[in-house]
Amino acid sequence: MSNLEQTLSIIKPDAVERNLIEEIKSTFKNNNFKILKDKKIQITKTEAEEFYKVHQTKPFYNDLCEYLSSGPIVVMILERENAISENRKLMGATDPKKAEEGTLRKKYGISIDRNSVHGSDSIENAKIEINFFFS
Ligand code: UDP
Ligand code: MG
């Protein structure tokens, strides 16, 4: 049974800063993701606060929003079968130290707060996040 989905992916400032955009995009393509749309942007802290509002009660919220707005990012709509879970698998655990071999965060992540990529975690959030950046 086919289950074509779209998910939002972000290449975060730490990865953009290290010129990893093309390498990370290639990894998505090699893993059967189509990049339907992409753009390099920088968001304001207020926009980051809106994007990450599910985390507003967390102790790391302020630093997280400062960080996501600290430099250019690349936002992408990725499409493939089971895109949401397949992208989460390809990214690996939030903490690069715990991420499996071969995952993006294992390969590129510096630390839990500089973990190189974002990916939507549910169909509902993928819709909200895609809409946030591409509408
Ligand atoms: N984060 C952090 N400290 C923590 C947990 C999370 O800085 O203790 C950051 C991290 O960059 C993560 C983001 O907050 O990617 C969102 O957290 P979430 O739990 O949603 O992880 P993700 O879905 O990105 O794996
Ligand atoms: Mg998350």
The pLDDT tens digits of the residues spanning 73-101 come to 999 999 999 999 999 999 999 999 999 99
How many angstroms separate the CA atoms of 52 and 64, rounded? 8
The whole-model pTM stands at 0.98
6 membership: H or E segment, kind and range: strand 4-11
118 is annotated as an active-site residue: yes
Predicted pLDDT of residue 8: 99
How many angstroms separate the CA atoms of 56 and 68, rounded? 14
Pocket probe mutation, ligand 1, options 103, 115, 117, 120, max atoms within 8 Å of Cβ: 115
Name the stretches of the chain with pLDDT < 70: none
Identify the nearest ligand to the CA of 126 by its number. 2
CATH number at residue 127: 3.30.70.141
Predicted pLDDT of residue 1: 75
124: nearest Cα among 9, 8, 26, 28: 8
Domain tally for the chain? 1
96 CA → ligand 2 middle, Å: 14
**The amino acid at 113:** D
Question: Containing domain of residue 60, as a range?
Answer: 4-133
